């Protein structure tokens, strides 16, 4: 009897493929296998073992090898992956790919050995000649020079006919790192040593292991080391070294406080559920600096006390050294911190330690949700309103916040979402009893929340000025008082667009339908979507005009203007143009903390997790940047930004002030933010969402279609419009006909989308299944299904 296995491959076609297994192997679900797929080598994961395959047994291919001795994916993660795959309509192999660290992959090295050379096939003969020339065996890479195609297909047929044998070797992508170390073998007082040799020996006596050769050889030459070796005084041995991302972390004693009344109450409710060890979802709505992180730490300790493990998700940007140190001081060696700066080797190392149970807590952004921890007791999602929890680049387009709730549910664990500005849907869920609401309304040290002053920029005397008179005066005032200022503008570069005054032409990216941003430092215009840049033209490419109008200011222009207005102020700018180097973040933070900076200016980057007591003034340069986007979440995002930025002010005894500059002072997101009134905003926004049939009242899906030929894409979309009209259950859905997406072209790809709204998830699933079965998508068109999309641009 043959053994059949269902294998998930990391390709965007369908869920699983059936293979058979050689008799000498005993496959288990969750193990990785190496298979041929479409004439290429692929690594897949076994997710099932059907007794009888669904189609012709003779056509089923054998796998080459099983890689893992034990299953790599345990039952829990497998079930989790299956769920994600179904919910997001994404092949499960791609879900695994998102779950696993890239460093775990294997590379296949294939060597072709000639066995027989009698054949009539011309291509085969060519290949045989080539191998013979190479001494009857060669690597598959060398054969690629022979220009025979399809090469792998031919080779597989030749292998079948016994003409050749393909030897396959597998190499881990991340190799073990082994270094030479040196140790003293004996303390005997060998007197026959030169002074330098004696010195080395004495040095070794004072050291504790391990001593790396690389370090020693800086001080002592190889000949001295060799001499001692010849005399059998020392030994050189190999040692595997592991990455240690905590090596340069500042270790300090954990700060402990008496909890505030609100913290005590919230923690009590959490602990009760953690003790019960059953699923429960909480939303902690705690104002900025109300001590949420402290609550997280105590809750994690509670979960650990039951022998459980925990995951804490943090937006990448908040993963500053200060945050890591804070957790490290409490949990020390049992935490694994995962972030995007880790190398493949480091990530794999920590993944393995989590899997072995040597680390009990995983901290990291989005993908840390997939930490292979057993026995999960608690999942925390900090700043749960953040968009970065949504994967928007490649499938699965999952949202880690939502999936955190799911994973907790599947594990009978507690999940805690925390924020000062709840995501609308999360708050909605507390009102519909899906989550329990926890509240912290006061700042820990009883500091009052800062006062917000809205400035109507339409009433300023000089409309060309970036700063209102009020904001200039306040900056001046703080500079005199030696207090610090934080200025926020959610736009980098110099000016948002460049427009010819004579003909009105706006300079656009050649590959995207996006206006280019002017960067004054190198006099270039850049596309913020694809990165394309070119020098600023001297003349308008359309009419030859020389005079340009520059759009609204970005951080670069604001910095210049500040420097002009306040020539003696020390200004630091933080945006993705200035923080490309690894430690640039940290350096600026340190400078602000130590008082070397008077004004910190930046984009989104500066609004999270900063806790600087001397910042007493926050300026929001234009509180309308978000509002002009054609996106139903624009107001929500605007509200969140204002509250979060404002939260950076007045974090000590000194009271904070926030100046909000806007051309839309009556906009409800600004009005409610001014009063720090979340509930008011929530109710207003909810009402609009209901009227326009947007989430949380409907489930939203966007199907995006991409092609580099506009005409062809448009006519294809016409066909789709016609097809969709035939969907039999139209009354259960609102389907918005295909239209060009607001950004109609990115990276040479034209973009069309369909939006679908439904009251219930099953209706969505039914539609997508119907769509897949009835609408033919030619393979030159790229289609992306986005369930619960965050952006509709």
The answer to whether the CB of 360 falls within 8 A of the CB of 304 is: yes
* Residue 784 interacting entry, from Zn ion, ligand ADP, none, C-beta within 5 to 8 Å by type: none
Q: How far is the CB of 705 from Zn ion (least distance, A)?
A: 19
Of positions 16, 31, 197, 288, contacts ligand ADP by CB under 6 A: 288
CB of 581 to Zn ion, least distance (A): 24
Residue 660 binding partner per list ligand ADP, Zn ion, none, with a CB distance cut-off of 5 to 8 Å that depends on partner kind = none
Range 459-483 burial, b when 16+ CB lie within 10 A, else e: eeeeeeebbbeebbebbeebbeeeb
H or E stretch at 335: strand 335-337
Exactly one of 130, 220, 246, 532 binds Zn ion (CB under 5 A); that residue is 532
Burial call 302-319: b when 16+ CB within 10 Å, e when fewer: bbbeeebbbbbbbbebbb
Look at residue 638 and give the partner it binds from Zn ion, ligand ADP, none, a contact being a CB closer than 5 to 8 Å depending on partner kind: none
- Which residues, numbered 278-317, are part of the site for Zn ion (CB under 5 A)? none
φ, ψ of residue 6 to 5 degrees: the values are -100, 125
Q: Which does 511 bind (CB under 5 to 8 A by kind): ligand ADP, Zn ion, none?
A: Zn ion
> How far is Cα 250 from Cα 326, in angstroms, rounded to an integer?
10
CB of 388 to Zn ion, least distance (A): 22
Neighbours of 436 (CB within 10 A): 16
| Span near ligand ADP by CB under 6 A; candidates 172-180, 202-210, 291-299, 498-506 | 291-299
Q: What is the DSSP string of 118-163?
A: ----HHHHHHHHHHHHTTSEEEHHHHGGG--SSHHHHHHHHHHTTS
Closer residue to Zn ion in complex, CB, 308/526:
526
Q: What is the DSSP string of 439-467?
A: EE-S-TT-PPPPEEEEEEGGG-S-TT-SS
Closer Cβ to Zn ion, 140 or 743, answer by number? 743
The option from ligand ADP, Zn ion, none interacting with 255 (CB < 5 to 8 A, set by class) reads ligand ADP
Q: Is the peptide bond before 356 cis (omega within 30 degrees of 0)?
A: no
- What residue spans of 527-604 are helical by DSSP H? 555-565, 584-593
Nearer to ligand ADP, 288 or 411 (CB): 288
532 binds, among Zn ion, ligand ADP, none (CB under 5 to 8 A by kind): Zn ion
Q: Which of Zn ion, ligand ADP, none lies near 290, with the C-beta cut-off 5 to 8 A by kind?
A: ligand ADP
Residues composing the chain: 793
Shortest distance, CB of residue 101 to ligand ADP, whole angstroms?
29
* Residue 509, contacted partner among Zn ion, ligand ADP, none, CB below 5-8 A by kind: Zn ion
Under the binding rule (CB under 6 A), the answer on residue 611 touching ligand ADP is yes
Query: SS3 letters for 708-773?
Result: CCHHHHHHHHHHHHHHHCCCCCHHHEEEEEEEEEEEEEECCEEEEEEEEEECCHHHHHHHHHHHHH
Number of Cα atoms under 13 Å in the Cβ half of residue 117: 13
Residue 293 makes contact with ligand ADP by CB under 6 A: yes
Select from 589, 627, 624 the least CA-distant residue to 608: 589
Task: Please choose which of ligand ADP, Zn ion, none residue 527 contacts, taking the beta carbon within 5 to 8 angstroms, the exact cut-off set by kind.
Answer: Zn ion
- Interface positions, 500-519, toward Zn ion (CB under 5 A): 509, 511-512
Indicate the residue among 509 and 643 with the shorter CB distance to Zn ion.
Answer: 509
Tokens representing residue 169 in the block: 């070797």
- From the list 286, 554, 656, 665, which residue makes contact with ligand ADP (rule: CB under 6 A)? 286
Residue closer to ligand ADP by CB (options 385, 633) is: 385
Shortest Å distance, C-beta 282 to ligand ADP: 15
Q: What are phi and psi of 785, to 5 degrees?
A: -95, 120
Please state whether beta strands 178-184 and 657-662 pair in parallel, antiparallel, or not at all (unpaired).
Answer: unpaired
Of 259 and 781, nearer to ligand ADP (C-beta) is 259
Nearest C-alpha neighbor of 371 from the set 352, 346, 343: 352
Listed ranges 39-47, 210-218, 365-373, 524-532: which one lies at the site for Zn ion (CB under 5 A): 524-532
The helix or strand, by DSSP H or E, that contains position 109, with its residue range, turns out to be strand 106-114
Question: Is 289 among the residues that bind ligand ADP (CB under 6 A)?
Answer: yes
Minimum distance, C-beta of residue 287 to ligand ADP, in the bound complex (Å):
7
| Shortest separation between residue 443's beta carbon and ligand ADP, angstroms | 8
Q: Does 260 bind ligand ADP (CB under 6 A)?
A: yes
Phi-psi region of 241 (alpha: psi -120 to 50; beta: other; left: phi over 0): beta
Residue 197 touches which of Zn ion, ligand ADP, none (Cβ within 5-8 Å per kind): none
Q: Measured between alpha carbons, how far is 312 from 334 in angstroms, rounded to an integer? A: 13
User: Residue 506 Cβ, how far from ligand ADP at the closest point, in Å?
Assistant: 41
Question: Binding string, 710-739, against ligand ADP, x = CB under 6 A?
Answer: ------------------------------
> Is position 530 an interface residue for Zn ion (rule: CB under 5 A)?
yes
Bridge partners, residue 77, by sequence: none
Q: How far is the CB of 677 from ligand ADP (least distance, A)?
A: 19
**In the complex, minimum distance from the CB of residue 710 to Zn ion, in angstroms, rounded to a whole number:** 16
Site track 458-497 with Zn ion (rule: CB under 5 A), x = hit: ----------------------------------------
Out of 91, 291, 602, 789, the residue judged to bind ligand ADP by CB under 6 A = 291
Widest Cα–Cα separation across the chain: 97
263 binds ligand ADP, rule: CB under 6 A = yes
Is there binding between residue 292 and ligand ADP (CB under 6 A)? yes
- Quick one: what does residue 263 bind among Zn ion, ligand ADP, none, with the CB cut-off 5 to 8 Å set by partner type? ligand ADP
Separation between Cα atoms, residue 333 and residue 312, nearest integer Å: 16
Q: Is 444 in the site for ligand ADP (CB under 6 A)?
A: yes
Name the residue with tokens 């570069």: 493
Tokens of residue 678, six digits = 């979340």
What is the torsion angle, in degrees rounded to the nearest 10, for the CA atoms of residue 297, residue 246, residue 250 and residue 329? 20
**Total residues in contact with ligand ADP, by rule CB under 6 A:** 16
Give residue 275's Cα distance to chain centre: 32
130 binds, among Zn ion, ligand ADP, none (CB under 5 to 8 A by kind): none
Mapped to the 3 state alphabet, what secondary structure does 202-219 carry?
HHHHHCCCCEEHHHHHHH
Q: Which is nearer to ligand ADP, 259 or 569 (CB)?
A: 259
| Binding partner of 444, given ligand ADP, Zn ion, none, CB within 5-8 angstroms per partner class | ligand ADP
In terms of CB distance, is 422 or 665 closer to ligand ADP? 422
Residues 226-255, one symbol each (x = binds ligand ADP by CB under 6 A, - = not), give -----------------------------x
The DSSP H or E segment spanning 2 is none
Smallest separation, CB 419 to ligand ADP (Å): 9
Are the CB atoms for 81 and 369 separated by under 8 Å?
A: no
Q: Rounded to the nearest 5 degrees, what angle is found at the Cα of 44, between the Cα atoms of 41 and 48?
A: 140
Give the shortest CB-491-to-ligand ADP separation in angstroms.
26
The contact set with ligand ADP (CB under 6 A) reads: 255, 257-260, 263, 286, 288-294, 444, 611
């Amino acid at each position: 009897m043959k053994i059949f296995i269902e294998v998930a491959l990391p390709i965007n076609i369908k869920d699983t493929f059936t293979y058979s297994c050689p008799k000498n192997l005993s496959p288990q679900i969750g193990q990785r296998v190496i298979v041929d797929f479409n004439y290429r080598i692929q690594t897949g994961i076994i997710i099932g073992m059907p007794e009888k395959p669904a189609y012709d047994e003779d056509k089923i291919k054998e796998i080459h090898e099983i890689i893992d001795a034990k299953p790599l994916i345990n039952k829990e993660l497998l079930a989790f992956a299956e769920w994600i795959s179904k919910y997001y309509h994404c092949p499960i192999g791609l879900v695994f790919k998102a779950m696993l660290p890239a460093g775990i992959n294997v590379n296949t090295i294939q060597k072709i050995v000639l066995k027989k050379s009698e054949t009539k096939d011309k291509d085969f003969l060519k290949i045989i000649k080539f191998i013979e020339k190479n001494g009857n065996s060669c690597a598959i890479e060398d054969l690629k020079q022979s220009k025979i195609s399809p090469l792998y297909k031919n080779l597989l047929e030749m292998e079948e006919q016994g003409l050749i044998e393909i030897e396959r070797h597998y190499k881990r992508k991340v190799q073990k790192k082994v270094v030479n170390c040196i140790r003293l073998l004996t303390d005997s007082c060998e007197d026959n040593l030169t002074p330098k040799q004696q010195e080395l020996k004495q040095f070794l006596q004072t050291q504790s292991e391990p001593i790396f050769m690389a370090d020693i050889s800086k001080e002592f030459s190889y000949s001295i080391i060799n001499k001692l070796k010849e005399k059998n005084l020392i030994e050189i041995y190999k040692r595997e070294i592991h990455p240690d991302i905590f090596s340069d972390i500042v270790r300090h004693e954990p700060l402990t406080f008496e909890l505030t009344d609100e913290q005590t109450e919230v923690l009590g409710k959490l602990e009760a559920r953690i003790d019960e060890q059953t699923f429960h979802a909480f939303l902690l709505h705690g104002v900025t600096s109300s001590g949420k992180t402290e609550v997280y730490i105590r809750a994690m300790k509670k979960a650990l006390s039951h022998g459980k493990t925990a995951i804490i998700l943090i937006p990448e940007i908040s993963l500053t050294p200060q945050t890591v140190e804070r957790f490290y001081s409490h949990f020390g060696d049992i935490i694994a911190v995962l972030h995007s700066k880790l190398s493949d080797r480091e990530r794999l190392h920590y993944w393995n330690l989590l899997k072995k149970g040597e680390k009990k807590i995983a901290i990291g952004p989005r993908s840390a949700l997939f930490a292979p921890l057993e026995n999960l007791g608690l999942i925390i999602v900090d700043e749960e309103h953040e968009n970065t929890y949504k994967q928007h680049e490649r499938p699965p387009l999952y949202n880690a916040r939502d999936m955190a709730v799911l994973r907790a549910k599947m594990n009978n664990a507690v999940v805690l979402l925390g924020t000062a500005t709840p995501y609308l849907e999360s708050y909605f869920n507390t009102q519909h009893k899906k989550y329990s609401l926890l509240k912290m309304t006061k700042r820990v040290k009883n500091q009052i929340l800062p006062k917000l002053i809205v400035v109507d920029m339409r009433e300023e005397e000089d409309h060309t000025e970036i700063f209102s008179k009020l904001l200039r005066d306040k900056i001046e005032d703080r500079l005199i008082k030696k207090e610090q200022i934080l200025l926020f503008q959610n736009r980098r570069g110099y000016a948002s667009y460049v427009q010819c005054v004579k003909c009105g032409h706006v300079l656009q990216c050649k590959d995207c339908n996006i206006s280019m941003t002017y960067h004054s430092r190198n006099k270039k215009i850049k596309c913020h979507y694809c990165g394309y840049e070119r020098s600023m033209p001297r003349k308008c490419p359309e009419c030859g005009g020389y005079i340009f109008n520059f759009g609204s200011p970005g951080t670069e222009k604001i910095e210049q203007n500040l420097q002009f207005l306040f020539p003696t102020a020390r200004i630091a700018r933080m945006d993705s143009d200035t923080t490309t180097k690894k430690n640039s973040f940290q350096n600026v933070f340190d400078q602000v903390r130590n008082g070397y900076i008077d004004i910190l200016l930046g984009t989104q980057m500066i609004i999270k997790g900063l806790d600087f007591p001397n910042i007493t003034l926050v300026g929001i340069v234009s509180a309308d940047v978000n509002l002009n986007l054609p996106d139903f979440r624009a107001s929500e995002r605007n509200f969140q930004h204002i509250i979060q930025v404002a939260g950076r002010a007045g974090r000590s005894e000194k009271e904070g002030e926030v100046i909000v500059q806007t051309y839309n002072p009556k906009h409800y997101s600004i009005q409610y933010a001014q009063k720090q009134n979340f509930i008011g905003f929530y109710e207003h926004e909810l009402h609009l969402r209901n009227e326009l049939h947007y989430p949380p009242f409907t489930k939203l899906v966007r199907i995006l279609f991409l092609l580099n030929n506009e005409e062809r894409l448009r006519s294809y979309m016409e066909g789709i419009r016609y097809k969709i009209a035939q969907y039999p259950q139209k009354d259960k859905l609102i389907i918005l006909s295909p239209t060009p997406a607001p950004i109609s072209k990115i990276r040479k790809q034209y973009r069309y989308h369909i939006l679908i709204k439904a009251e219930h998830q099953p209706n969505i699933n039914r539609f997508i299944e119907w769509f897949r079965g009835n609408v033919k998508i030619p393979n030159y068109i790229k289609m992306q299904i986005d369930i619960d999309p965050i952006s509709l641009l």
